[in-house]
Structure formats: structure tokens, C-alpha cells
Amino acid sequence: MKDNNDMPGHLARRFQQIAVAVFLAEVGDAGFDLTPVQYAALATIKANPGLDQVTLAGLIAYDRTTITGVIDRLVQKGLAERRASRRDRRTRELEITDEGRRTLRKITPAVESAQRIMLRGLSAKEGDDLMRLLHKAIAAGNELSRAPLRGVQA
């Protein structure tokens, strides 16, 4: 049996732990209280005004049943809001607020810093290679996930 440090699942989990810790530290030091998932959701809502929460979950590869809590927290923080859909009264559309736009603009340097810190032990080429290989491995396993990445539905 291989040592944990020779298993891709263990290493992926460790890198995720490091990535979350670095993100929270950088964003917290900049004066913001957002998790990586909340940030991804807010940025995606901004890029796709009026999307519904099922589509949002697919776009950030997040579980459909737990995305509601993420949205609840963004709404409580005044960063996003739910509105009745103009197309389907059963659906709620998500919109970013002015405060959400300001937050994204102000938090960007901290998020970019976190990304650099996560790769600081690698050369630029190694960082590019890691990103390319992560994209490749994730694409190959996407459908195996409980929360596969999905595109915007037309």
C-alpha cells in the first residue's frame, strides 16, 4: 500500500486545506469576511446576472442542496439578492448588489495575492503546468463528482 503522500486524493485534499487557509488569511487581512465558495458564487452572479441557484451551483461545481446556504449568507451580508423571475414565478433569480460589486472590486487584490501564495513554491512554468494538469484531471473526472461543473443552460 502506498503512503498517503503518494496518493493524489490525499495531496488534493491537503492542497485544498492550504488553499482555503491562504484565501481566508489574505481576504481576512484585507478586512473581508468571505469564504472561497462565497467569493466564487458572488463573482459568478456578477458575471451571469439573473441566473437561478441551480445554474449557479453548476457553474461553480457546488452541491445543489447546499448552495442555498451560500446564497443566504451573501444575501444576509447585503452582497446579493433574490428576485422573482420574470420568466418563471417558481424560480428566484440572483442579482449582485452595489455593495457586492464594491466588495468584489476591493477584494480582488487579496484574492490575487492568495493565488500567488498558493503557488509560491513553484516556478512560473511549474505553476502553469500544475494548472494545466489540474484542469485536465478535473475534466476527466468531472462527471464522477457529486457536484459536476456545468455550463449556463440556454
CB atoms within 10 A of CB 75: 15
Mean pLDDT over 3-19 rounds to: 92
CA distance readout (Å), 113 to 77, 78, 120:
23, 25, 10
Q: What is the pLDDT of residue 88?
A: 75
64-97: pLDDT as tens digits: 889 999 999 999 999 999 998 777 777 889 999 9
Q: What is the end-to-end Cα distance of the chain in Å, rounded?
A: 47
Q: What is the pLDDT of residue 98?
A: 98
pLDDT tier, 50 (very low <50, low <70, confident <90, very high otherwise):
very high
Q: What pTM did the predictor assign? A: 0.90
| CA separation for the pair 93, 122 (Å, rounded) | 41
Report residue 62: phi and psi, to 5°.
Answer: -120, 145
Do residues 22 and 117 touch, judged by C-beta distance below 8 A? yes
Q: What is the pLDDT of residue 1?
A: 66
Closest CA to 102 of 150, 55, 32: 32
